[in-house]
Amino acid sequence: MLHYCLRLLLPLLACAWMPGALAQPAYALVFGPENSSPGAIDNAGRIVGQVDGRAFLWDGGAVIDLGTLGGGSSAAFGISDNGLITGGADRPDGSSHSFLYDGGIRDIGQLGVASSGAAVNSAGQVAGTWVDAAGENHAFLYSAGVAVDIGNLGADSARATGINEAGDVVGSSFLADFTAFQAFLYRDGVIRSLGTLGGPSSWAAGINDNGQVAGTSFIDEETQHAFLYTGGVLQDIGSFGGAFTEARGLNDAGWVVGYSTYADDIPGIDFSSAFVYRDGAMFDLNLIVERPGVWSILDAYGINDAGQIAATACTEFGDCRAVRLDPIPPVPEPRPGALMLAGLVLGGAWSGLRRRMRRHR
């Protein structure tokens, strides 16, 4: 009889677990080196950033010091899928230059008195910012060994923050008369504004290979929301209710990461919360990370095409470090109707088995 029950039950359980609604995303927490901050993540899950004042590369295990350009400090902000890294590093004279790392750190020069690379693609093109003698920022694109100023939106002040495999660059620039600044897209030698969500200013954080842009915009004079720009449309992706939400990066699926505050957060006291936006919903990473313990995930800086996230985690005691959030494969949720049917069959079979057992006593 028991064998017969199992033969009935197993197909029902299989039906109960057929693909249907899946649980919300979940992540495992992998700790990076102490005193580290992340800058970017590639599709292999390698994270670059800064630890103890030096640029580093971390693959989940070993930590590689990328060195400097002869000075005391460096920081890495971008990594391509073939392992090229960019950032800024000090020279012996104390000035900071953009660098390109391809197994060794290399000065790629600058247009002014200082510069820093923000993002790099697999062709070795670097997007970043250079500083003139007056201290003003300008956006640049480094390609084929030459760095060029890519212009602005009306005022001689701009920053570049992202680049994709096609060489499209995003960033932000002040408008004429420095009345506001807006996110821009630089493509085929032309720079243009992406607009705002209704407020005066916006800025872009990154661009994927499908041309989608993640960034942040004021929706009024005081409140800022993260956005996803797709096909000429700037979409507000929401917030956790607080006044500050900022996008830091995105992957090719259009999933966006960054940080947000809640409506009842007290500035200077409460932590921000890192988020991932996917499938039309914004998730607080603190609520879907497996066993965070005393750690809070405050900010997320990048997400790769496998869904791995580079983030910053801190304790209330001030211990902060880079972390990697690795997706935990979703488990299909059982269908209630199928589970109920399976329960009824199992209950009936068990009752029948008990009756048979009593008759044979």
User: How confident is the model at residue 110, as a pLDDT?
Assistant: 77
The mean pLDDT value for 180-206 works out to 98
Beta carbons within 8 Å of 271's beta carbon, 6+ residues apart: 296, 298, 314
* pTM beyond cutoff 0.95: no
Asked if the model's pLDDT at residue 4 lies above 70, the reply is no
What are the structural domains, with CATH classification, of the chain? 25-356 (2.130.10.150)
Supply angle C-alpha 153, 154, 159, rounded to 5: 45
What's the chain's average pLDDT? 88
Question: Which two structure tokens, joined as six digits, stand for 340?
Answer: 């109920």
How many percent of the chain have pLDDT more than 90? 79
Confidence bin at 109 (pLDDT 50/70/90): confident
Tell me the DSSP string of 96-149. EEEEEESSSEEE---SSSEEEEEEE-TT--EEEEEE-TTS-EEEEEEETTEEEE
The count of other CB atoms within 10 Å of the CB of residue 37 is 17
The mean pLDDT value for 316-343 works out to 75
User: How confident is the model at residue 355, as a pLDDT?
Assistant: 38
Q: Which amino acid is at 196?
A: T
Q: Name the CA radius of gyration of the chain, rounded.
A: 25
Which of 121-125, 166-170, 271-275 comes out lowest in average pLDDT?
271-275
The mean pLDDT value for 174-203 works out to 97
User: How confident is the model at residue 160, as a pLDDT?
Assistant: 98
User: How confident is the model at residue 236, as a pLDDT?
Assistant: 98
The mean pLDDT value for 1-29 works out to 50
Calpha distance 265→60 (Å, rounded): 33
Asked if the model's pLDDT at residue 20 lies above 80, the reply is no
The mean pLDDT value for 88-112 works out to 95
User: How confident is the model at residue 25, as a pLDDT?
Assistant: 87
User: How confident is the model at residue 148, as a pLDDT?
Assistant: 97
The mean pLDDT value for 94-122 works out to 95
Nearest to 331 by CA among 24, 118, 113, 12: 24
Which of 12-26, 76-90, 298-312, 314-328 comes out lowest in average pLDDT?
12-26
User: How confident is the model at residue 224, as a pLDDT?
Assistant: 97
Q: What digits encode the pLDDT tens for the residues 156-182?
A: 999 999 999 999 999 999 999 999 999
Q: Which residue has the higher pLDDT, 9 or 42?
A: 42
User: How confident is the model at residue 29, as a pLDDT?
Assistant: 96
User: How confident is the model at residue 330, as a pLDDT?
Assistant: 78
For CA atoms 36, 261, 253, 172, give the dihedral sign: negative
Q: Is 70 within 8 Å of 90 (Cβ atoms)? A: yes
Which of 92-101, 289-298, 328-337, 352-361 comes out lowest in average pLDDT?
352-361
The mean pLDDT value for 9-28 works out to 53
Q: Which residue has the higher pLDDT, 311 or 293?
A: 311
Q: What digits encode the pLDDT tens for the residues 25-75?
A: 899 999 999 999 999 999 999 999 999 999 999 999 999 999 999 999 999
